[in-house]
Amino acid sequence: MVVERDIDDLPKNDANHTALTPLWFLERAALVHPTRRSIVHGSRHYTWLQTYQRCRRFASALSNHSIGLANTVAVIAPNIPAFYEAHFGISMAGAVLNAVNIRLNAPAIAFLLAHSSTAAVIVDQEFFSVAEESLKIWSENSKTFKPPILIVIGDENCHPKVLKNCVSRGAVEYETFLEGGDPEFKWKPPQDEWQSIALGYTSGTTASPKGVVLHHRGAYLMSLSAALNWGMSEGAVYLWTLPMFHCNGWCYPWTLAALCGTNICMRQVNLSKAVYAAIAKYKVTHFCAAPVVLNSIVNASSEEVILPLPHVVEVNTAGAAPPPSMIAEMSEKGFRVTHTYGLSETYGPSTICARKPEWESLPIEKQARLSARQGVRYIALEGLEVMNPKTMEPVPADGGTVGEIMMRGNAVMKGYLKNPRANKEAFANGWFHSGDLAVKHKDGYIEIKDRSKDIIISGGENISSVEIEHVLFSHPAILEAAVVARPDEKWGESPCAFVTLKGDVDGGNEQRLVEDIVKFCRSHMPAYWVPKSVVFGPLPKTATGKTQKPLLRAKAKEMGPLRKSKL
């Protein structure tokens, strides 16, 4: 018997279906708020109509150079207007934005450009030399090298001579490039919303970089979800502290267009001072930052801070588990910290530690501890579980059993570029495997215990380096801390803490300080967690600002195994 399906027998047509893409947001912003500020960058500012026209010129100029479908365009720049425009102009031409980390060196950039067969490189004048150098490396190492178009972005905060020099070395100036494009360029949404919109290479704390490919559908959904989950609304004023090259600025370039808000750009010179100044000057309502940046805000000198804040400022932090003590300090200053968590593979943050009204009556430390968890899924992430990766069984919600965080749904990447093996592993059993280890609490919120590679196994017991770090962060003399495993004759491994001290701490008497720290740890954690080694000095960072634990682990190994007698 044929089931009558009249009610589903109504096909898609031009009137009732179109691809989801954040490009619609920009078109709408220009229509609804043509004269509202879209971007402010020092003395430069644009309206939404201007931004839309500039992006159409951008797309048109790329098309004129035959750059379009399936081509990638690399951008190497700090948070300046051109980078914002790249989030729309490149995909309006049908091409894919590859946002390159500006802290990478030439060989690393050369790898990305070659791996993605970049058709154009758009580079801020400050980073021109490294881009030039990376192209040279690429050309010398590949027989099929086809020189990409090289476009240089000038910036009034840089020396004008440098820009001139770049042009004399064969680059097209960005503004000149735009002038060649049509401000009325008739862009089209992608034929299929599964089409790629962005490519971003992982920073590789554990392995060589992988190219994460994102699509129009996901970018559309996640940018709306990022607004709704964070309570952002129409006309938000967003400060660009978080690099746009970091997971496409966690989708916020697209969100801001959807909200017809205002983007405040900055080149990040003296960060904490600039943040306070921007809040006062532009009435900033929202910004995002990794905990390390919040740390500098909390520890800013008195000349830098402007307190009390003129209004509550919403802060979204992710990239590492924020120490509860820091969340508490931020709250005291008038910032409202929302903790989110995610990966490049999930369009940036895709879980949020959703606040509950009932927490407000708790002591601030307890609140901060609850808020430091990774929480629950974003609206646009349909599946979040902590599972045993072997059995794919969810762990019990007991706050103790550790499993791997797994995600599934529309917030998960298309896959890694040209890396079938990594894709197979990442998507095994129909879930994306994050590689992060967590527990699930009774209230359903998840909490990271460690990256699988960062766990310390001491006497057969798993020790979470993150938990030790949380305690260390709350020590009054410590600015930053990272804990790794050091070989240990008796226990196999034992915790080794690398710490950076606050500026005003007298590091003269190191031994006394070590004793003090160890004593502090003893009173705040089980004895077997207490670091058996404490090392002072700056922490090595990846290009995205994450502490490079592999290097610290190597260093701890070099220190040799801890003898049974010590401590």
Binding site for a copy of itself (CB under 8 A): 3-8, 10, 12-18, 20, 24-25, 28, 31-34, 69-70, 72, 96, 116-117, 189, 194-196, 199, 213, 221, 224, 227-229, 231, 233-235, 258-259, 354, 356-357, 376-377, 379, 382-383, 407-410, 412-415, 417-418, 423, 426-427, 430-432, 444
Distances (CA, A) of 188 to 68, 185, 503, 566: 12, 10, 54, 68
Q: Output the smallest distance, CB 369 to a copy of itself, in A.
A: 18
Q: Which is nearer to a copy of itself, 2 or 269 (CB)?
A: 2
Residues near 50 by Cβ (< 8 Å), separated by ≥ 6?
38
Residue 299 backbone dihedrals phi, psi, to 5 degrees: -100, 15
For helices 128-141 and 106-115, the axis angle rounded to 10 degrees is: 60
Report d(CA 35, CA 47) in Å as an integer: 5
Q: Which is nearer to a copy of itself, 333 or 441 (CB)?
A: 441
Q: Which is nearer to a copy of itself, 337 or 483 (CB)?
A: 337
Report d(CA 559, CA 211) in Å as an integer: 35
Residues near 513 by Cβ (< 8 Å), separated by ≥ 6?
477, 501, 505, 507, 536
Report d(CA 451, CA 552) in Å as an integer: 15
SS3 126: helix
Q: Angle CA(83)–CA(85)–CA(89) in degrees, nearest 5?
A: 120
Q: Output the smallest distance, CB 44 to a copy of itself, in A.
A: 22
Q: Which is nearer to a copy of itself, 32 or 362 (CB)?
A: 32
Q: Which is nearer to a copy of itself, 5 or 143 (CB)?
A: 5
Q: Output the smallest distance, CB 520 to a copy of itself, in A.
A: 35
Residues near 421 by Cβ (< 8 Å), separated by ≥ 6?
none
List the helix and strand counts (H, then E) for the chain.
Answer: 18, 27
Q: Where are the beta strands (DSSP E) in 88-195?
A: 96-99, 120-124, 149-153, 172-173
Helix %, strand %, coil % of the chain (to 5): 35, 25, 40
Q: Which is nearer to a copy of itself, 418 or 564 (CB)?
A: 418
| Dihedral of the alpha carbons of 55, 61, 63, 64, in degrees to the nearest 10 | 160
Q: Output the smallest distance, CB 337 to a copy of itself, in A.
A: 16
Report d(CA 463, CA 484) in Å as an integer: 10
Residue 23 corresponds to which tokens in the numbers above? 């490009």
Q: Output the smallest distance, CB 291 to a copy of itself, in A.
A: 23
Compute the half-sphere exposure of residue 242: CA atoms within 13 Å on the CB side of its CA: 24
Q: Which is nearer to a copy of itself, 256 or 539 (CB)?
A: 256
Q: What is the DSSP letter of 541?
A: B
Q: Output the smallest distance, CB 266 to a copy of itself, in A.
A: 24
Report d(CA 48, CA 32) in Å as an integer: 9
Q: Output the smallest distance, CB 32 to a copy of itself, in A.
A: 5
How many Å separate Cα 193 from the centre of its chain? 23
Q: Which is nearer to a copy of itself, 88 or 431 (CB)?
A: 431
Identity of residue 46: Y
Q: Which is nearer to a copy of itself, 425 or 489 (CB)?
A: 425
Q: Output the smallest distance, CB 198 to a copy of itself, in A.
A: 10
Q: Output the smallest distance, CB 114 to a copy of itself, in A.
A: 13
Q: Output the smallest distance, CB 120 to a copy of itself, in A.
A: 15
Q: Which is nearer to a copy of itself, 141 or 191 (CB)?
A: 191
Residue 546 corresponds to which tokens in the numbers above? 């994450």
Q: Which is nearer to a copy of itself, 236 or 482 (CB)?
A: 236
For helices 324-333 and 291-298, the axis angle rounded to 10 degrees is: 50
Report d(CA 275, CA 30) in Å as an integer: 28
Count of residues in the chain: 567
Q: Which is nearer to a copy of itself, 5 or 161 (CB)?
A: 5
Q: Output the smallest distance, CB 487 to a copy of itself, in A.
A: 37
Q: Output the smallest distance, CB 403 to a copy of itself, in A.
A: 17
